[in-house]
Amino acid sequence: MKNSICILLFLCVIIACSTSKSNISNPEKPKATSNDTIKIVNEELQYEVIIIEPGFDFWLQSTAYPRGYYSQSYLENKNNFYVLEWNSRVRQPQLYPPNLYEMTIDYQPSINYGYEVNYLIYNYMIYFQNKYNQRLYGRVPPR
């Protein structure tokens, strides 16, 4: 069974994840490449996460709380709410800017994507909400 997570945003934010296992742990640390690209690849578990957003890599390194600050269960809980609201907005282009909410995200709470994937999704959602003045769910840290 294959699962995927995809985000395509304003300036090409793509997160893709596919796996044949339902339990992902210990993904590689992200590697920053040119043009503010963060990429995690784990060929053994067959998934890849790519985030391309000008300014996100710098923000992640300079402003976001460090890895380990939040528990994985906290990140998964927040990501689930963020993704539910995100997908709702994708389906309502008449109410929300379609250039910000272009594609739905297939994030399944029953799958353990591991800490790093959840950390990046959570922090991207915080970055996105602050940068584009959007509120997906609850209080957004003013970072």
| 116 belongs to a structural domain | yes
Over its C-alpha atoms, the chain yields an Rg (Å, rounded) of 14
Residue-wise pLDDT for 112-142, tens only, equals 888 988 999 999 999 999 999 898 987 777 6
Encoded tokens for 76: 């998964």
pLDDT value for 35? 55
- Neighbouring C-beta atoms of residue 5, cutoff 10 Å: 23
Stretch 77-83: mean pLDDT: 95
| 106 belongs to a structural domain | yes
Residue 123: which of 57, 61, 60, 54 has the closest Cα?
60
pLDDT class for 18, splitting at 50, 70, 90? Answer: very low
Indicate the average pLDDT of the chain: 75
pLDDT value for 88? 95
Encoded tokens for 128: 């996105």
| 89 belongs to a structural domain | yes
| 68 belongs to a structural domain | yes
The domain of 81 spans: 31-131
| 103 belongs to a structural domain | yes
| 119 belongs to a structural domain | yes
| 10 belongs to a structural domain | no
pTM: 0.71
Number of independent structural domains in the chain: 1
Torsion from C-alpha of 11, 73, 39, 12, nearest 10 degrees: -10
| 111 belongs to a structural domain | yes
CA distance 139 to 8: 24
pLDDT value for 79? 94
- Bridge partner residues of 41 (DSSP): 48
Give the CA count within 13 Å in the CB-facing half-sphere of 120: 29
> What's the length of the chain?
143
Question: N- to C-terminal Cα distance for the chain?
Answer: 38
